[in-house]
Amino acid sequence: MSTRTTRHVGEQQKSQQQDEFRRALRGLLMRPLMPPDHADFPAVRRQADRLREWFAREAGWPLHVDREGARLFKRPADLSDPTRGLPDYDRRRYVLLCLACTVLERADPQITLELIGERIVQQAVDPALAALGFTFTLRSAAERRELVAVCRSLLEQGVLERVAGDEDNFVHDSGWQQSDALYDVHRRLLADLLAAVRGPSSWRAEEAPADTGARLRALAIEYRVDSDQGRRDAVRHRLARRLLDDPVLYTETLEADAQAYFINQRGAMASRLCEATGLTPEQRAEGLALADESGQLTDVAMPAEGTEAHVTLLVAERLAQRLRQARAPVRVDAGEITRFLRDAAGRYGRYWRTSARAPGAERELAEIAVERLCRLGLLAREADGVRPLPAIARFSLGQTEVRAAPGAEPLFLSEPGA
């Protein structure tokens, strides 16, 4: 084999290794608790050593990989971010999730949906829960629906695996006791479900944190080396976590030490993170965003298909224009967004689902749009409305033009210059 051929083969292998490393890294960012049947798990196992080193160096996140699954212990940099968490989960449902995990930790390798519910009912009579007003009896359809939602979350995480049956009929009042599902319990993934530095069961009663904020900090507090280098590493890890987790990082939201480091090092940080992840840096005076052109590394895509996505794009463009015209921070009340969508329905309603055109639907659509834009870091909620943030300016695209394909009904909206 010639030297040129050997070099070509070596370069090709190196490229394939890099592609596999990037795929595994991106997979872990989206699925930190990864079951062994996940499509990216074989790549994660092959690249485990390199991935451990990269996550530890860049973000300070530990990674554990074995044949039963992978767990990237992602710890958020901003514990006060209200956009995090499981979809449609409130405090009550999180309590149910914790009780379900307690039941599974003590259960046999297989368990039924009804048995999970019955054991949660037994746990729910704890005086400490009762004192907080928490009750759970399994008698109402609403309570059974909550239980099904919790079990489906555990199915998505790989903690449970459905063996037989289904959850659908379990909710209905008629015959729910004859409807059931059987699950395998994967204890390895169950044990790694909580990505805490210190488990709450390790607190003594006298040192237990008093409120939610203190509890979150106590769960996530990490050991830091008390030296100049240790403090710099802590700041760098905190910034990298924000950049990998959040849609955009605004300089003004950082504390003084992190702000100084970020201003000096953001170019180098963006280069390292983007080389590994395949993200694209967008640097502006106000901060930095790492954009994913494929849309795979986001929980909320924009632009996207569907009525809610189109409405969100219209609201974003409207608010971006307001921000550009004002050339200063502006605040917009919810009523203005609702009125704008009521008017927009007259022009675009024929492209929306039927229920979105009903009288009064604009209020729900406005709330959905605001929620999505807040999660994308484009809006901030305030007491008197919302405040458009600088990154929303990228959606100031001008007048929308509706184009129809020749011989077909118009299906898509395109923006001039987009």
Give residue-wise pLDDT tens across range 224-265: 777 888 889 999 999 999 999 888 999 999 999 899 999 999
Residue 327: pLDDT over 80? no
Between CA 30 and CA 41 the distance in angstroms is: 12
Report, as an integer, the average pLDDT of 132-155. Answer: 93
pLDDT tens column, 153-204: 999 999 999 999 888 888 876 666 667 899 999 999 999 998 888 777 788 7
Residue 247 DSSP one-character state: S
Tell me what pLDDT residue 124 has: 92
Tell me what pLDDT residue 100 has: 96
Domain boundaries, the chain: 3-72, 82-221, 234-291, 307-414
Between CA 363 and CA 134 the distance in angstroms is: 31
Residue 277: pLDDT over 90? yes
Helices (H), 141-255: 141-157, 187-191, 212-220, 228-245
Report, as an integer, the average pLDDT of 46-65. Answer: 96
pLDDT tens column, 10-42: 778 888 999 999 999 999 999 999 999 999 999
| Residue in the block written with tokens 């890099």 | 18
Tell me what pLDDT residue 408 has: 39
Residue with more model confidence, 4 or 358: 358
Closest CA to 345 of 336, 332, 333, 358: 358
Domain spanning 307-414, CATH class: mainly alpha
Lowest mean pLDDT among 109-118, 159-168, 387-396: 387-396
Confidence band of 211 (pLDDT split at 50, 70, 90): confident
